[in-house]
Chains A and B, each alone.
Chain A
């Protein structure tokens, strides 16, 4: 069994609906195009989309997905979410970050669907979902989240491969955050090199709703991550906090689409990562100020440390604007450790290569410090042992 491979290609027309529908049948190897930004740039940059060649794989057993705690329906149908979506989104604004082809492929390979449905005004205990990738299979968890009016929900999800192996693993996340509701969503990926990871997120927010989305991508030979937030309600807001680490020959490919339709909506995308060895990363971030979103504010920033001359990084921050009363800014900070930081750290005995190793190890330490349960911490530590030769963040927590 081999992990999926990919190539960057020139942009091509979208598949027809019939072709996409054909993807929703699990048969044979497929090449799908994912992570197209709303507005394309020079084809020669090869970042307008990415091709993922996915091998023929059976869907994993349902037991690959476990709801470790919290009030959620394991083995749910899509219908409850579809019904809530039809009511909340009559104009069809709901979209995913990876796109229709990924939606169809993930749907065809879903091992289990989990539904988190929080009633209006409620604030239940956090929900923990673990996806343990199955060797030689496509291990996909569909995660539907409905946070109804005035409710608060916290959902943690981890994709891990404690038994190693090869295959494809992924989350297909759909979220509806109702009026005045709050969603905290944390996704951690700690897969081994034998896996390709697909993380496709679509979310729609009502008036006054807020979503805090934290993503940490530490492993997998390929990580394809698409995230779309539709800020339809006035004064709705989203904070996206992404941490990533490239190591070995790993590839990371991100696509963020934030559509701000409501008045006085706010978005903040803050990506922070390190690229080591011969890893590569593309990050596309689009904030789309749609006509009528007066008073909207959007920020996006990608800060990436290049810890090796062999790494490749492309960042494509984009602001689309069809409204004059908005504030938007984007930026990217790309480079090696700055001289001032280097000087400080060298004065503490660290050589330049040790400083770069510190930044790489810090991604694991940060993830370990913020691990939401023991299994999450174990996944981070297993990967840290393999990549940096030590456990992460454990020096003050009973290290032997």
Chain B
């Protein structure tokens, strides 16, 4: 078997004293698109942050290997320079830093892109056009006062500019209207097509997946990967929610029972939850 581009090996992680991820194993081959799904609070975003090296989380066990290199001890900046990219669910506002200053600074960390001077200018113009964005954004402070959709487009701008080896897209589709979702979907497709890009897509929403060819689907529940399959698993989840994995939550992330924690498991009413789930599925179908 060909060596995976990214290999997550038995990773356990915690935030402070609270364990969140439990023995995660995940392998993503070059050029593949993997989807990570799961109910709210399952730990999906945490996995993305841990792979990226966010110091908020402590990796207590396991290893993260990129192209055969163990990057577990590297910080986020080093991982970025190695070719990892995380599109933030909630991109941070940075007052005082114009977008173009920021873009210049991050490109400077990637000399392999050879994007100096006019090449940089040309590439930025191309991407802005792809994203239906005005050049006026370049003079604005990074993400300051941007709408949710604009922030996600700025994330896509960086994705297309940096051409990472692997992009983790954390809820990139959340909060987008139809037009913005369309633009973002095309940007992701362009990253795939132009760079043979590799993607780990974290999402609740299957609409964004309509534009992508998915190789593998993973389901996370309570910090465990509980299921893995091909793209057909997405259809299953779309129809039945996460109830089949012991979680009473529909595809939109709406809880249909509060009794999800292990401590409360004895009180879990499976029949009632199933009834709720069926009702939710019918309601979704009716829409």
Contact of A350 among B100, B106, B117 (CB under 8 A): B106
Write out the residue numbers on chain B whose beta carbons fall within 8 Å of the beta carbon of A361: 101, 105
User: What are the interface flags for B25-63 relative to A under an 8 Å C-beta threshold, 1 for contact and 0 otherwise?
Assistant: 000000000000000000000000000111110000000
Q: Which residue of B lies closest to A348 (CB)?
A: B106
How many Å from the CB of B6 to the closest CB on chain A?
A: 16
Assess whether A344 is in contact with B94, with CB atoms less than 8 Å apart: yes
Assess whether B80 is in contact with A365, with CB atoms less than 8 Å apart: no
Assess whether B158 is in contact with A348, with CB atoms less than 8 Å apart: yes
Chain B: interface residue count, which band?
35 or more
Known interface pairs A344-B92, A349-B77. Does A393 touch B100 (Cβ–Cβ under 8 Å)? yes
Write out the residue numbers on chain B whose beta carbons fall within 8 Å of the beta carbon of A343: 54-56, 76, 92
Assess whether B98 is in contact with A362, with CB atoms less than 8 Å apart: yes
Q: How many residues of A contact B (CB 8 A)?
A: 32
Known interface pairs A350-B77, A358-B102. Does A345 touch B94 (Cβ–Cβ under 8 Å)? yes
Known interface pairs A347-B86, A350-B106. Does A340 touch B117 (Cβ–Cβ under 8 Å)? no
* Interface: A369 (CB within 8 A): yes
Q: For the complex, give the distance between the alpha carbons of A286 and B91 in Å.
A: 35
Selected interface stretch from B118-126, B182-190, B236-244: B118-126
Assess whether B76 is in contact with A398, with CB atoms less than 8 Å apart: no
* Interface: B97 (CB within 8 A): yes
* Interface: B180 (CB within 8 A): no
User: What are the interface flags for A345-360 relative to B under an 8 Å C-beta threshold, 1 for contact and 0 otherwise?
Assistant: 1111111001001110
User: What are the interface flags for B109-132 relative to A under an 8 Å C-beta threshold, 1 for contact and 0 otherwise?
Assistant: 110000011101100100000000
Contact of A399 among B76, B95, B118, B135 (CB under 8 A): B118
Known interface pairs A340-B92, A347-B86, A399-B121. Does A358 touch B97 (Cβ–Cβ under 8 Å)? yes
User: What are the interface flags for A387-400 relative to B under an 8 Å C-beta threshold, 1 for contact and 0 otherwise?
Assistant: 00000010111111
Q: Which of B80, B104, B117 has the most CB of A within 10 A?
A: B104
Assess whether A349 is in contact with B138, with CB atoms less than 8 Å apart: no
Assess whether A365 is in contact with B109, with CB atoms less than 8 Å apart: no
Contact of B95 among A272, A354, A395, A400 (CB under 8 A): A272
Known interface pairs A346-B75, A350-B77. Does A341 touch B92 (Cβ–Cβ under 8 Å)? yes
* Interface: A305 (CB within 8 A): yes
Known interface pairs A272-B95, A341-B92. Does A398 touch B80 (Cβ–Cβ under 8 Å)? no
User: What are the interface flags for A129-163 relative to B under an 8 Å C-beta threshold, 1 for contact and 0 otherwise?
Assistant: 00000000000000000000000000000000000
Write out the residue numbers on chain A whose beta carbons fall within 8 Å of the beta carbon of B162: 348
Assess whether A396 is in contact with B124, with CB atoms less than 8 Å apart: yes
Assess whether A359 is in contact with B117, with CB atoms less than 8 Å apart: no
Known interface pairs A303-B95, A350-B109. Does A344 touch B80 (Cβ–Cβ under 8 Å)? no
Assess whether B101 is in contact with A365, with CB atoms less than 8 Å apart: yes
* Interface: A227 (CB within 8 A): no
Known interface pairs A395-B121, A400-B117. Does A362 touch B101 (Cβ–Cβ under 8 Å)? yes
* Interface: B81 (CB within 8 A): yes
Assess whether A395 is in contact with B120, with CB atoms less than 8 Å apart: yes
Write out the residue numbers on chain A whose beta carbons fall within 8 Å of the beta carbon of B120: 395-396, 399
Residues facing B in A359-373 (CB within 8 A) are: 359, 361-363, 365-366, 369
* Interface: B96 (CB within 8 A): yes
Q: For the complex, give the distance between the alpha carbons of A34 and B100 in Å.
A: 38
Assess whether B96 is in contact with A398, with CB atoms less than 8 Å apart: no
Q: Which residue of A lies closest to B75 (CB)?
A: A346
Write out the residue numbers on chain A whose beta carbons fall within 8 Å of the beta carbon of B146: none
Q: Which residue of A lies closest to B98 (CB)?
A: A365
Q: For the complex, give the distance between the alpha carbons of A363 and B92 in Å.
A: 19
Known interface pairs A341-B92, A399-B118, A400-B117. Does A347 touch B98 (Cβ–Cβ under 8 Å)? no
Q: Which residue of B lies closest to A340 (CB)?
A: B92
Q: For the complex, give the distance between the alpha carbons of A28 and B145 in Å.
A: 52
Q: Which of A351, A369, A396 has the most CB of B within 10 A?
A: A396
Q: Which of A272, A348, A361 has the most CB of B within 10 A?
A: A348
How many Å from the CB of A242 to the closest CB on chain B?
A: 12
Assess whether A395 is in contact with B104, with CB atoms less than 8 Å apart: yes
* Interface: B139 (CB within 8 A): yes
User: What are the interface flags for B235-265 relative to A under an 8 Å C-beta threshold, 1 for contact and 0 otherwise?
Assistant: 0000000000000000000000000000000
* Interface: B88 (CB within 8 A): yes
Assess whether A365 is in contact with B92, with CB atoms less than 8 Å apart: no
Write out the residue numbers on chain A whose beta carbons fall within 8 Å of the beta carbon of B139: 369
How many Å from the CB of A340 to the closest CB on chain B?
A: 5
Q: For the complex, give the distance between the alpha carbons of A365 and B162 in Å.
A: 21
How many Å from the CB of B106 to the closest CB on chain A?
A: 4
Q: For the complex, give the distance between the alpha carbons of A366 and B94 in Å.
A: 13
Q: For the complex, give the distance between the alpha carbons of A303 and B88 in Å.
A: 25
Q: For the complex, give the distance between the alpha carbons of A19 and B192 in Å.
A: 76
* Interface: A223 (CB within 8 A): no
Contact of B98 among A349, A350, A366, A398 (CB under 8 A): A366
Known interface pairs A343-B55, A344-B91, A362-B101. Does A349 touch B109 (Cβ–Cβ under 8 Å)? yes
Assess whether B75 is in contact with A305, with CB atoms less than 8 Å apart: no
Q: Which residue of A lies closest to B158 (CB)?
A: A348
Q: Which residue of B lies closest to A305 (CB)?
A: B96
Write out the residue numbers on chain B whose beta carbons fall within 8 Å of the beta carbon of A347: 52-54, 76-77, 80, 86, 88
Q: For the complex, give the distance between the alpha carbons of A362 and B97 in Å.
A: 5
Q: Which residues of B contact A (CB under 8 A)?
A: 52-56, 75-77, 80-81, 86, 88, 91-98, 100-102, 104-106, 109-110, 116-118, 120-121, 124, 135, 138-139, 158, 162
Closest CB pairs A-B (n = 3): A349-B109, A349-B80, A344-B92
Q: Can you give 25 contacting A-B residue pairs, CB < 8 Å?
A: A305-B96, A340-B92, A341-B92, A341-B94, A343-B56, A344-B91, A344-B92, A345-B94, A347-B77, A348-B80, A348-B109, A349-B81, A350-B77, A350-B105, A354-B105, A358-B105, A365-B98, A366-B96, A393-B98, A395-B100, A395-B120, A396-B121, A396-B135, A397-B121, A399-B117
